[in-house]
Amino acid sequence: MAHANTLETLLARQDIHDCIMRYARGIDRGDEGLLLSCYWDDAHEIHGPAYNGPAVPYLKEAAKRMKTNKPVMQHFIGNVHIELHGEDTAWAESYILTFARFAKNGQDYDTFTGARAFDRFERRDGEWRIAHRQAVFDWNRDVPSAETWCLGLFDTGHEDMVMGQKAPNDLTYRRE
């Protein structure tokens, strides 16, 4: 049942949406501080068979792995549905498309995954963060990597070609 939005509910939804976007940026850039700012210290993470436990150790290890620039990874957030329950609890379902490059037996593979995050958000002292996250995996496609940068149109060695990096070296952290 839909409820009329108020200024308070709009602000809550925006804060929750901002947190979801911060997570995507934090994981892709290997930014531990940004990742940790999305979860409460006592949060729980279930990420398929890869992890089920306290979120903080998972996030710290993920940021450490991402810092190496391997795997290359991007999370794209699509539909986000937020349901507010009272003043301090919300449920959010976020559709996620993920690109990642992993090596297996000396061969790089590009993996594309469609998934969703089911989050329980809690507001504590006026701040919304994830208290519990459950990942749901909908589909996946793995293919051998064949990176040619638009069939050679983009010269990765050119001085104007800005390549993505991890925090704090990525362009997104510069404020010049």
The domain spans of the chain are 7-148
Quick one: pLDDT at residue 2? 60
Q: How many CB atoms lie within 10 A of CB 167?
A: 19
Write down the pTM of the prediction.
Answer: 0.88
Which pLDDT score is estimated for 70? 66
Q: Which residue has the higher pLDDT, 170 or 113?
A: 113
Q: Classify domain 7-148 by CATH number.
A: 3.10.450.50
Q: What is the mean pLDDT of residues 151-165?
A: 79
Q: Answer whether residue 173 shows pLDDT above 80.
A: yes
The contacts of residue 162 (CB under 8 Å, 6+ apart) are 171
Angle at the Cα of 13 (from 83 to 119), degrees rounded to 5? 55
Percent residues over pLDDT 90 in the chain:
69
Mean pLDDT of the chain: 91
- The pLDDT, as a whole number, for residue 69 is 58
Q: Band of the pLDDT at 115, cuts 50, 70, 90?
A: very high
Q: What is the pLDDT of residue 155?
A: 82
Q: Is the pLDDT of residue 1 over 70?
A: no
